Amino acid sequence: MPRGIGKLTSLEELSMFVVDRDGSHDGADLSELSGLNNLRGQLRIKNLRFVKNAKEKFKTPILKGKQHLRSLTLEWNGDNDDDDNKLLEDLQPHPNLKELCIDGWGGDAKFPSWLSLLTNLVHIYIWGPNKFKYLPSVAQLPCLQDLTIRDCYELEYMDDNSPKGSQGEPESFFPSLKCLDLENCRNMKSWWRTTKPIDNDSNEDDPTVMGTSTMAFPCLSTLWIKNCPLTSMPLYPLVDDDLRLVNSSSRPFKQTIKMKMNAKTPSCSTSSLPLSKLKSFHVKNMEDMDTPMLDEYMQHLTSLETLTIDGCTKVDLEGMQWEPLKNLSYLEINNIPKLHSSSADLSMAFYSSSISSAEHSLHYKKQRP
């Protein structure tokens, strides 16, 4: 960026600001952004790893006065150091912001608390690698619809509060969240800091364990959990679009299936069974998933159109009751060493079907009439 850009105080559009490395290319300093408060639309700031001595350098807010910005991306793009902690604090946006992406911030265990103050946020994307262990609570952000957290290897929990403290009134717990994507957060075993992860002696089928029976996402439609050993989290009985569970604990899924829908559960239809409107289900590397368990749970998923089972070594599909899945149009089974069900078995359940099978695998696709 050219040095002196901060003098263009009437500038309304600047889609990208690239931080110069130690001023070696006579480029603009990040502090020059502080006076550009007429910027609108989206702003992407790259190479934040080159910012040094943030504590002494920034005397005025850099982004807090930019009330017209709608989308902000902060990228570190490489190795990080202790300056990252102070820098992210100084990059607090204006509360009018709608979309925030933080990519590669290498701060320590504490994430800046200003995240929970951005009450107009609709989309939050946080990508690692990084060092923070928990996030400020975002459960009460009224407009938040999309939350994505990936490659945050040190993240241990999502909320510093207890389940009761983070919930408040049911209608205020993630009141607008539709999509949740948690991937490659290998240390995250519990949603709440003050909740102990379930051990082997716990009754994993009891939905009242750790008080989670009253904790449910009120309008979540899509849930992806990949490589996150979450044993405790809010339940998700109303997910209706896409559910993907890959190399994660099956306990929240079991508790969701077994929970009772009642007047206290935020739902458009209190009489429906949990996950009864789900259209697509992908399950992979669930070590404790077996055929009786899968068969029991499939009876709830009567709206299912797409089902993928991959790497569940205890599943053989023998005696599987397929009849309740009347809407199923695509079935993919991969890496199942104990696979017993034949193509003929499935043909009896699904008429007008096309089925191909190979060792440990089976694909079914409903033919159009």
The tens-digit pLDDT sequence of the chain (369 residues) is 778 888 899 999 999 999 887 655 667 788 889 889 999 999 999 988 888 766 666 667 899 999 999 999 999 876 655 566 678 888 999 999 999 999 988 877 678 889 999 999 999 999 988 888 888 889 999 999 999 999 999 999 888 765 554 444 555 789 999 999 999 999 998 898 765 555 444 555 544 444 444 689 999 999 999 999 999 999 999 999 999 999 999 899 999 988 875 444 554 444 478 999 999 999 999 888 888 888 888 888 989 999 999 988 888 877 788 888 888 888 888 888 777 655 445 655 554 455 555 556 667 766 555
| Structural domain containing residue 341 | 276-368
| Position 320 in a domain | yes
| Position 254 in a domain | no
Token digits of residue 260: 């009772």
| Position 346 in a domain | yes
Separation between Cα atoms, residue 10 and residue 291, nearest integer Å: 65
Give the up-direction half-sphere exposure of residue 241: CA atoms within 13 A in the CB hemisphere. 9
Say what the pTM is: 0.86
For residue 201, the model assigns a pLDDT of: 45
Q: What count of other Cβ atoms lies within 10 Å of the Cβ of residue 351?
A: 8
User: Is 142 in contact with 122 (CB distance < 8 Å)?
Assistant: no
Q: What count of other Cβ atoms lies within 10 Å of the Cβ of residue 156?
A: 16
**Total number of domains in the chain:** 1
For residue 24, the model assigns a pLDDT of: 59
User: Is 366 in contact with 352 (CB distance < 8 Å)?
Assistant: yes
| Position 329 in a domain | yes
Give, to the nearest 10 degrees, the angle between helix 251-258 and helix 291-298: 40
* Cis peptide leading into residue 129 (ω within 30°): yes
For residue 290, the model assigns a pLDDT of: 84
Token digits of residue 314: 């205890």
For residue 206, the model assigns a pLDDT of: 47
| Position 344 in a domain | yes
| Position 355 in a domain | yes
For residue 84, the model assigns a pLDDT of: 63
CA angle 331, 320, 204 (to 5 degrees): 95
| Position 170 in a domain | no
Separation between Cα atoms, residue 350 and residue 322, nearest integer Å: 8
Separation between Cα atoms, residue 66 and residue 58, nearest integer Å: 16
Are β-strands 242-246 and 222-226 bridged in parallel, bridged antiparallel, or unpaired? Answer: parallel
For residue 95, the model assigns a pLDDT of: 96
| Position 4 in a domain | no
User: Is 72 in contact with 97 (CB distance < 8 Å)?
Assistant: yes
For residue 187, the model assigns a pLDDT of: 93
